[in-house]
Amino acid sequence: MRVVILGSGRGSNAAAILQAQLDGRLGLAQVVGIFADQPEAGILALGPRFGVPAGFVDPAPFKTKLEGPGEDRFIEAIQAAQADLVVLAGFMRVLKPRFLATFAGRIINLHPSLLPSFPGLDAIGQAFRRGVSISGCTVHYVTGEVDGGPILDQQAVRLEPGETLEQVAAKVHAAEHELLPAVIARLSRQALT
């Protein structure tokens, strides 16, 4: 299963996926490309480090959504990589219907809460401010509803009294780094059946 990772930031979840691949824990999946919508995104440095093609794809003209010429460029890059699965790992753009239709059933996203609780931005902060005792992360299929697609798997973390937001975020991120590669590995094995 050929995997492309899309990201906008430092790429810690992409690094977890690539390390899992290096360690033989990614099942039958192989990362064949990393694309970022920010030219200075840290995720791009992972390409040379792990021997995977990585590049900036111009998302213009919009700042928060992928539409128009930017959408065309991303679709072309993913199709050129012959991706079977598109993994959103900190990709901070809303995907529009044409992109979703092009890769229907083949786009997954990692969200830092136990959906359907705390969708959208700052999910860890939302959970922390609400004072929940359990939060975590979710991997789900991407649909037109933001953070509303079918859930593939979740991993819970317990929030302890007195923990800081930074401590909670670190626990959620550690869970993300375990969950996302495990889901990709499972999907790669299921693709054979």
> Do 53 and 33 form a contact (C-beta atoms < 8 A)?
yes
Say whether the peptide bond before residue 97 is cis (omega within 30 degrees of 0).
no
Within 119-186, strands assigned E span 134-141, 151-158
For 174, half-sphere exposure in the C-beta direction (CA atoms, 13 angstrom radius) is 9
111 is known as an active-site residue? yes
Choosing from 111, 140, 173, 177, the catalytic residue is 111
> Do 69 and 76 form a contact (C-beta atoms < 8 A)?
no
Catalytic residues, by residue number, are 111
